[in-house]
Amino acid sequence: MISRRGPLKEIGWVRDHLGDPKLVIVDCRYNLSDTDYGQHAYENGHIPGAYFVDLLRDMTGKISKNGGRHPLPDLDLFVKKLESFGITEDSTVVAYDDNWSGAARFYFLMQYIGFENSYVLNGLYQNWVNLGYPTDKSVPGKRRGKLSILLDTHIRLDIDHLRKGIDTMNLVDCRSSDRYAGENETIDPVAGHIPGAVNHPFMESVNDSGYLDKSLLEKKFSDLPNDPVLYCGSGVTACVNFVAMRVAGKDPRVYCGSWSDWISYPENPVEK
């Protein structure tokens, strides 16, 4: 089911609600080439009251031969992290970053564990700074929250789901067009895409100030059915299109292992 709540919160709304005890802000900045970047960026300045979540330590599980480069985290540990931020069933949670995908991954995880009252800031941290809104370097203390998990299994697919339904699924590759075409693969050892997938690069769903307007996203995804299956390189950047398609009123799902999982099985076909 599509969440009854839209996935975005505007920057002005967050500014107006700073200090609200029910509002929990989460900083999800990261850089794959620098594993300490997110923590350092957070320490150098963040939205007041924000807690930091690390992509590799908090939003990624144990990496193995299969499962992709960023498998989903241990959900019990993830929930314990959230509870240390004071998150309860009554909280409103807003995530932000500086590249769109960290916050989108966090939003997907929140939706997956059944926490619907979670959102992505409709803008980057730099947009917040450019507006002259307050920033802070202090780290908020741990709090005591309480959450329960009620998995929304509809939105997550693994390799078994994909293999069984690939002939009827509408696959969307969210990587750049050159990687989709197998022309410029610099991350994964095999180039190309899953047979039958169409290409909607995630960066075309956003601009310098936020996600494209609902009408533009509806037009952008008008060639797709209601429930497309999204993938990228490792299941992170596809979440940007997960957010964008929810804005457009669609009911997307994510193949979380994505391309890096698909090619870990030598028997899986590859298309260029």
User: Would residue 256 show up in a list of annotated catalytic residues for this protein?
Assistant: no
| Residue 5 reports pLDDT greater than 80 | no
- Model pLDDT, residue 133: 98
Homologous superfamily in CATH for domain 8-152: Rhodanese-like domain (3.40.250.10)
- Dihedral Cα 104, 107, 111, 117, nearest 10 deg: -140
Q: Which percentage of the chain shows pLDDT scores above 90?
A: 97
pTM of the model: 0.97
For residue 1, the 8-state DSSP code is -
Mean pLDDT value across residues 109-115: 98
| Residue 170 reports pLDDT greater than 50 | yes
CATH 3.40.250.10 intervals, the chain? 8-152, 154-262
CA-based angle 6:107:212, to the nearest 5?
A: 50
Alpha-carbon distance of 170 to 27, in angstroms, equals 32
Which amino acid is present at 204? E
Which amino acid is present at 87? I
Alpha-carbon distance of 169 to 34, in angstroms, equals 36
- Model pLDDT, residue 2: 45
Alpha-carbon distance of 268 to 163, in angstroms, equals 9
Q: Which of 183, 162, 169 is nearest to 263 (CA)?
A: 162
| Residue 1 reports pLDDT greater than 80 | no
Alpha-carbon distance of 6 to 247, in angstroms, equals 6
DSSP conformation letters of 141-197: PP---B------GGGEE-HHHHHHHTTT--EEE-S-HHHHTTS---SSSS-SB-TT-
pLDDT in tens, 208-230: 999 999 999 999 999 999 999 99
Mean pLDDT value across residues 131-152: 95
Q: Which two tokens stand for residue 131?
A: 């507006």
Q: Which residues contact 173 (CB under 8 A, 6 or more apart)?
A: 180, 193, 194, 197, 198, 199, 200, 231, 232, 259
- Dihedral Cα 153, 159, 163, 165, nearest 10 deg: 20
Mean pLDDT value across residues 142-171: 95
pLDDT in tens, 51-91: 999 999 999 999 999 999 999 999 999 999 999 999 999 99
pLDDT in tens, 192-203: 999 999 999 999
Which of the residues 28, 174, 232, 239 is marked catalytic? Answer: 232
Alpha-carbon distance of 167 to 196, in angstroms, equals 8
Homologous superfamily in CATH for domain 154-262: Rhodanese-like domain (3.40.250.10)
| Residue 3 reports pLDDT greater than 90 | no
Based on the number of CB atoms within 10 Å of its own CB, is 164 exposed (0-12), middle (13-18) or buried (19 or more)? exposed
| Residue 4 reports pLDDT greater than 80 | no
Which amino acid is present at 259? W
